[in-house]
Amino acid sequence: MRILVVDDEKLLVKGITFNLENEGYEVDGAYDGQQALELFNKNKYDLIILDLMLPIYDGLSLSRKIRETSDVPVIMLTAKGEGSDKLLGFEYGADDYMTKPFDILELKARIKAILRRSPRLSKGENHVESILTAKDLRVDLIKRTVEVRGRTPELTAKEFDLFVMLMSNVGKVFSRDELLENVWGYGYPGDIRTVDVHIRRIREKIEQDDANPEYIMTKWGVGYYFNDPAR
């Protein structure tokens, strides 16, 4: 995974770079909007950490330029905490938002959560398969649609993300806490019953008999996992 860190505070960029490289990421740093744009146009990144206040191009302008050609996840950093700044950040394409000062452990957790719940559908070396299949199920990750037994059930955004999280990891059991972190994001204020409610709704839409599911299975006392009956 390759990450671009953009901030005019050089010590902060170096600190983030050091911590992320220790996690196994490849990291590039930029100190202004122009330098960041040049690196972005030259390289392929899996995630961008972007400060709001930057020389030359500010974070909002740079995020808008990035969104013209790419869906790469963006985490916006800023010293400001007002709600209007957050709304602007999301409007201009940010996927997450952190206010300085922040805990580096929280930043790393958010990076992992974003990369897990938002598979990049890009071309070239970072290509991710865009179609998932299992028995009579077909999921299109680009169109975000599900087909099952000739039907096209309508899943909400979170139901779809949760379903893809499970289906992409056949047989792997996820606890409710893991699903909350990966799908809803690190620090989500909800409780684990949120997961149960969404699982129930997905089963009602996907399974032939939601009382006896064949795809989304429960590991009692642990969590949920996806079963491919054709395997």
Q: What is the pLDDT of residue 121?
A: 40
Q: What is the pLDDT of residue 84?
A: 60
- Alpha carbons 136 and 149: distance in angstroms, whole number: 6
Q: Tell me the β-bridge partners of 148.
A: 137, 151
Region(s) of the chain under CATH 1.10.10.10: 131-226
Q: What is the pLDDT of residue 194?
A: 86
Q: What is the pTM of this model?
A: 0.54
Region(s) of the chain under CATH 3.40.50.2300: 2-124
- SS3 of 113-148: HHHHHCCCCECHHHECCCEEEECCEEEECCCCEEEE
- Alpha carbons 62 and 183: distance in angstroms, whole number: 26
DSSP the chain: -EEEEE-S-HHHHHHHHHHHHHTT-EEEEESSHHHHHHHHHHS--SEEEEESS-SSS-HHHHHHHHHTT----EEEEES---HHHHHHHHHTT-SEEEESS--HHHHHHHHHHHHHHS---BSGGGB---EEEETTEEEETTTTEEEETTB-----HHHHHHHHHHHTTTT--EEHHHHIIIII-TT--S-THHHHHHHHHHHHHH-SSTTS-SSEEEETTTEEEE--TT-
Place of tokens 């961008």: 48
- Alpha carbons 28 and 43: distance in angstroms, whole number: 10
Cis peptide leading into residue 101 (ω within 30°): yes
Q: Tell me the β-bridge partners of 98.
A: 77
- Alpha carbons 6 and 14: distance in angstroms, whole number: 11
CATH number of 2-124: 3.40.50.2300
Q: What is the pLDDT of residue 124?
A: 39
CATH number of 131-226: 1.10.10.10
Q: Per the structure block, which two tokens stand in for 158?
A: 């979170």
Residues counted in the chain: 231
Would you write out the chain's pLDDT as a tens digit for each of its 231 residues?
899 999 999 999 999 999 899 888 999 999 999 999 999 999 999 999 999 888 988 888 898 888 888 888 899 888 765 556 666 666 767 788 888 888 888 888 888 878 876 555 444 344 445 788 999 999 988 788 999 999 999 988 788 889 998 998 899 999 998 888 778 765 555 667 889 999 999 999 999 999 999 999 999 989 999 999 877
Q: What is the pLDDT of residue 20?
A: 92
Q: What is the pLDDT of residue 230?
A: 77
- Alpha carbons 166 and 125: distance in angstroms, whole number: 24
Q: What is the pLDDT of residue 93?
A: 73
